[in-house]
Amino acid sequence: MPFEALVLDIEGTTSSISFVKDELFPYVYKNVEGYLKEKCGDDALLPLIELSNAEAQHDSDVKAIASDAAREEKVDSLTKNIRTWIDKDKKLTAMKQIQGQMWKDAYEQNLIKGHVYDDVLPILQKLHDSGIPIYIYSSGSVQAQKLLFGYSIAGDMTKVLSGYFDTNIGYKQESNSYKKIADSIGKEPARILFLTDVEKEAYAAVEAGLQSKLVLRDGNAPLTAQALKDFETISNFAQLL
């Protein structure tokens, strides 16, 4: 069935998984201490301290931070905690905000450029020009999504994108999230195509009534035989035309 709107995952679909794993997160890991020292006033540190203290109640690797501790001690503890959260792949709101701010600075200073596969922009441009709205749905924040595509190696790609969704609309392996996206963009679910490299996300989208295809890219996790049977796969966005 033809589609009237396109919803895209990022990692493993438009962009390599290694970009996030090998560039974005290591950048924060390496530079977070200096960033906290130089650019975060006490008001910016407060939500991170509150998060640390909440996490410390059930995670022995996270250190609680006294409100009357010296600023240097707070920064040192927060640095260790943030690095622990990165190691554990924790997606905590206050930490994601700091990551987003750091990435924004890095993108704007040309220290980082968002990775996209060569086949992505030319096809998205053609779809956009033909009137197909294109949306992003990622577990990364909307801010992080806009930065990746706004400062990509292909240039500013935000001009071909109609909107962005993150986990504020729901988790990616829950079908209700896709129903909400369909309602938000005003399209019948059956007229929306969702592309992802994660089969559980594809099944959730189909359960919500969307079309879905699985994307094969170098470095992606292998798909199960059942998923390969249930879904059409593509390895290049040109196959959408």
CATH classification at residue 131? 3.40.50.1000
pLDDT at residue 174, as a whole number = 97
Please report the pLDDT score of residue 62 as a whole number.
85
pLDDT at position 1 is 63
Instruction: Calculate ∠ Cα 8-11-15, nearest 5°.
Output: 85
State which of 60, 92, 109 marks the end of a domain: 109
The predicted pLDDT at position 226 comes to: 98
123, 189: one domain = yes
Flag whether 138 is marked binding: yes
- 86 Cα distance to chain centroid: 14
Same domain, yes or no: 202 and 127: yes
- Asked whether residue 165 falls in the same domain as residue 211, the answer is yes
Residue 195 is inside which H or E element, if any?
strand 192-196
Give yes or no: residues 56 and 135 share one domain: no
In the predicted model, residues of the chain with pLDDT beneath 70 are 1
For the domain that residue 39 is a member of, what is the CATH number? 1.10.720.60
Contact 188, 156 (CB under 8 A): no
137/155 same-domain check: yes
Q: Are residues 122 and 235 in the same domain?
A: yes
Residues 225 and 210 in one domain: yes
Indicate whether 96 and 184 sit together in one domain: no
Q: Is 139 annotated as a binding residue?
A: yes
The predicted structure's pLDDT at residue 32: 94
**Same domain membership, residue 187 and residue 160:** yes
For the chain, how far is it from start to end, CA to CA, in angstroms? 13
- Domain count of the fold of the chain: 2
Tokens of 173: 């392996």
Domain extent for 36: 21-109
The annotation status of 9 as a binding-site residue, yes or no, is yes
Would you say 197 is a known binding-site residue? yes
Span 100-158, pLDDT tens digits: 889 999 999 999 999 999 999 999 999 999 999 999 999 888 988 999 999 999 999 99
Please tell me whether the overall predicted TM-score, pTM, comes out greater than 0.75 for this model: yes
